[in-house]
Amino acid sequence: MSVDEPFRIDGRRALVTGANTGIGQACALSLAERGAHVVAAGRSSCDETVRRIEAAGGSAEAVHLDLADPAAAAARLAGFGMLDILVNNAGIIRRADAVDHGEEDWDAVLDVNLKAVFLLSQAFARAALARGAGGRIVNIASVLTFQGGIRVPAYTASKHGVAGLTKALANEWAKDGITVNAVAPGYVVTNNTAALRDDPQRSAEILERIPAGRWGEPSDIGGAVAFLCLPAAGYVTGTVLSVDGGWLAR
C-alpha cells in the first residue's frame, strides 16, 4: 500500500445532498479532489458544482432531489446507481420566537433535516447490505446539536436528532462495514447564516466568542467530511466531529 492510499477514494461514488452551494458544494469538491465520482444532488441546480469539479479534473454529475418529500427522495436513490458514500448535508432553517413558531415550519424543518437523513441512510444501507459491501455515511449536524440556540426550536431539535440517529445507525451497521458519523459545523459563511451575519450586533457577539477569530468557510467543513470517507478513517464510527473554530470549547 502506498502512503497515499489511505487518503484516496478513487473509483468510489458519493452522493451529496444540497450540493448546489455552501457546505454541500464544498463537500462535493473535497470528495472529488480525493478521487470520488460525485453525484451532486439538490432541489436547485447543481450544474455549477459539477462545472467546478470537472474544471479541476474531477468527475461528477448533477441530479434533482427535493428532500421536502423524504420518502420520494429516498425511493430515487436506486436510480443513481451504486453508491459507496452518502453525505446528508441538505438542511433548512426557520427563525421565529418559540411562541410564534408555526407547526407547518416545524414539520418542514424536521422533514428535511431529520426524516430525510434517516430515510436516505436506510435506502443507502439496504443497497449496500444487499450487495455485501460496506459504505460511509456522513451527516451534517451543527453546534446546535449541543446547544439550544436562539429562535430556532425546530432546527435545534432536528440537529439534536441527527446526533442520536448517527449513533444509533453506527451501532447497527458497524459490523457490516458501514460507518456512520456526523460533522457539526460552527458558524460558517453560508446562506443559512446570512441573517446572523447581516445583523451587526449578533455577528459581533458570535465572532467575539470564536477562539479562531473568524467565521468558518465551507471548505473547512468539506475537508472534515472527506476525511471521514477515507480509508484512513475506517475505524471511526458513531462520532460527531465539531468543526467550529473552538466555539464549543469556549
3-state secondary structure of 120: helix
Q: Is 187 a catalytic residue?
A: no
CB 195 within 8 A of CB 206: no
CB 175 within 8 A of CB 129: no
C-alpha cell at 28: 462535493
Phi, psi (degrees; rounded to nearest 5) at 108: -65, -45
Residue whose C-alpha is closest to residue 214's, from 236, 167, 242, 246 = 246
Rg (CA), the chain: 17
- Distance in angstroms (rounded) separating the CA atoms of residues 159 and 140: 8
- Distance in angstroms (rounded) separating the CA atoms of residues 73 and 77: 7
CB 144 within 8 A of CB 186: no
User: What string of DSSP letters covers 220-240?
Assistant: HHHHHHHHHTSGGGTT--S-E
List all residues 6 or more positions away from 206 whose beta carbon is below 8 Å from its beta carbon: 187, 196, 215
H or E element, residue 29: helix 22-33
Which residue among 118, 124, 155, 215 is the active-site one?
155
Residue whose C-alpha is closest to residue 117's, from 177, 182, 60, 61 = 182
Catalytic residue IDs: 155
